[in-house]
Amino acid sequence: MKNKRLYFIILIIIGVLLLPLIAMQFSTEVNWTLFDFLVAAVLLFSTGFAIEWVLRKVKDKRRRIAICLVLLATLMLIWAELAVGIFD
């Protein structure tokens, strides 16, 4: 069960990374460089592995949900800052 969840997380991350790659083939609006893909991969994989670690180690369901929501909110804030500079 634990390995299936980890494989699912990895597949989701790969799918998310494929979206801009595919979009770049059809539009000039999306223009990611290799550095953009590397930064996105680091952010997504670190968040995914952190969530997997929380799901394995934290036993209380409410704490597990709260920590995962904080991790996802942090990912979204960092992603938005890198994309458009919301804190500027």
What residue ranges do the domains of the chain occupy? 2-84
> What is the rounded CA–CA span in Å between residue 3 and residue 58?
17
pLDDT for position 2: 60
pLDDT for position 87: 77
> What is the rounded CA–CA span in Å between residue 8 and residue 10?
5
pLDDT at 12 over 70: yes
Confidence class of residue 59 from pLDDT cuts 50, 70 and 90? very high
